Amino acid sequence: MDRPAQHFDDQDLTAKARIRNAALELYAANGEDRTPMRAVAAAAGVTVGLVVHHYGSKDGLREAVEQLVVERFASALASAPTDGAGEQIARVRNESVAEMLVRNPEVVNYLRQALLEPGGRRGQLLERLTELTHREVVAMRETGAASRGRADSVQVVDVMINQMGRLFLQPLVDAVWTHLGTFTHTEGHSKPELGVSVSEGEAVDRFPGPAT
């Protein structure tokens, strides 16, 4: 017997977005491996069957979550003013991304889960973010907002480290500072803030061993 044709209205699109958003929040909190599809369905207020209908599998759902994260970065960059000198534009763009991450802690936690956790399933997230950054760098070079004095590949790494390096490493600084406070004097001193940069060329040993 023929199955009746299914018709989907705007509510289905809304449900699809709810599923994706619920997956982002749960993956950020618990990791993808520890989040079954039924948990995503429950958080979104839908059935598991509807999750499968929209995304097919956990791979399809992960791809949608990754795309959402990339879109958040793209929107933050697009919202940044483009007036001023190149360094000013770069600073404003980095600040726009930083503000987006503050407003969306689930994106921060998802990035940490996907990119830093041992065994984390990052899928194509790093590749997607790299390609987005490369497109942005190329566009800025073409308009004169970014210098052509360095290779675009180096600039891509520099941008990504500035936008995400502090995100990943500042918690380490915070934890070290907190622990220092348990056995040494930290009162009256400002907690160090992490600064990151990229230089082209050979790495420099900032802590050389004793001279021989």
Q: What is the pLDDT of residues 10-69, one digit of tens each?
A: 445 589 999 999 999 999 999 999 999 999 999 999 999 999 999 999 999 999 999 999
Six token digits for residue 196: 């990151």
Non-local (6+) Cβ contacts of 79 within 8 A are 96
Instruction: Give the tens place of pLDDT for each residue, 165-186.
Output: 877 888 888 899 999 989 887 8
| Alpha carbons 32 and 30: distance in angstroms, whole number | 7
The architecture of the domain spanning 11-180 is: Orthogonal Bundle (1.10)
Six token digits for residue 64: 């949608």
pLDDT of residue 165: 80
pTM, 2 dp = 0.79
pLDDT of residue 199: 74
Instruction: Give the tens place of pLDDT for each residue, 1-26.
Output: 333 333 434 445 589 999 999 999 99
pLDDT of residue 122: 62
| Alpha carbons 204 and 201: distance in angstroms, whole number | 9
Work out the average pLDDT over 76-100: 87
Angle at 10 between CA 24 and CA 57, to 5 degrees: 40
Of 90-99, 100-109, 130-139, 194-203, least confident by mean pLDDT is 194-203
Tell whether the model's pLDDT for residue 133 goes beyond 90: yes
Average pLDDT of the residues of the chain: 84
| Alpha carbons 162 and 207: distance in angstroms, whole number | 22
3-state helix, strand, coil split of the chain in percent (to 5) is 65, 0, 35
Report domain extents, the chain: 11-180
